[in-house]
Amino acid sequence: MADRPLAAVILAAGLGKRMKADVPKVLVEACGRTLLEHVLAALEPVKAKPVVVVHGHGGDAVKAAVAGRGLLFAHQAEQRGTGHAVQSALPALKGFHGDLLILCGDTPLLTGTVLTDLVRDHARAGRVLTVLSAEVREPGSLGRILRGSDGRLKDIRETADATPAERAVREINTGVMVIDLGRLAPALERLTPNNAQGEYYLTDVPRLLLVESAIVDAFKTSDEGAALGVNNPLELAEAVRVLRRRAVDRALLDGVRVEDPDTTRIDAGAEIGAGTIVRPFTFVGAGARIGARCRIGPFAHVPPGAVVPDGASFPPG
């Protein structure tokens, strides 16, 4: 992907109290795939290795859900902030030298295209650290990207610590960054919890590196969805809506005739061949395989993992 080796850390230790689910938040499903699995799918194109998943609450369930994928795991015993979470992952990265891609495990709209663009931009510019940012209509509680007079990143301000003027900024931190691992570890040691949350913020690392004259900046993606973390059922529903719309749009561009996109639902990993007609009120389950030149629906439910051969009708008859 880049000249330097690339590893990844996925922060998946949050309690997720606002989700009100009976499983760890990252194991909540969106379109037939857990939030964590969506992030792992987005990681595939950049070929990061190793990939470390930081778990906390429900760690055994998280490890079991993604077992057999060659992942490494790190336990964050106390929830003391994102900086502390990344620090918990460092022992698993012993012996690795290169860049580290840091992501959150509750961002199902993050795509491989966005991560590929980020990693390429970081490598091309020869930076020590690159933050992935996005401009959003409603920044809400997301951390703000503060730029200097030269247009480059000068700080990231968490909402709880921001002034009214800083809160008016619409460019936000997505929670994704790439950083030279050799510079990260010493910076994490210098973090302090002197903030409104009393936590060790990973977002303080850019400022610490800038003091050392390191090359640091933010790469702004045009994909606003990259910023959507899922913290409650309302945000989950919005993520599902976007994921399903993306799936329908992709099918249309692949030559599938979706007669009524507004009543068609296509879950994660489903594939539909060119020339197939999907009639209204059809649901295609996760991982289903529908061949070319098929007729699906109306009012059809193609089960997850089902296979419909070329030229077939579903339901049959």
Residue positions annotated with a catalytic role: 18
What does residue 223 show for φ and ψ, rounded to 5 degrees? -90, 95
Question: CA-CA distance, 230 to 232, in Å (whole number)?
Answer: 6
Number of DSSP helices (H) and strands (E) in the chain, helices first: 8, 21
Nearest partner of 73 among 25, 81, 108, 64, judged by Cα:
64
Do residues 72 and 53 touch, judged by C-beta distance below 8 A? yes
State which amino acid sits at residue 79.
Answer: Q
Do residues 316 and 296 touch, judged by C-beta distance below 8 A? no
State which amino acid sits at residue 309.
Answer: P
The DSSP call for residue 143 is P
Cα atoms in the 13 Å half-sphere on the side-chain side of 76: 28
Question: CA-CA distance, 60 to 180, in Å (whole number)?
Answer: 30
Asked if omega into 315 is within 30° of 0 (cis), the reply is yes
Residues 6+ apart with CB under 8 A from 173: 131, 132, 133, 142, 143, 144, 145, 156, 203, 218
Radius of gyration, alpha carbons of the chain: 21
Residues 6+ apart with CB under 8 A from 246: none
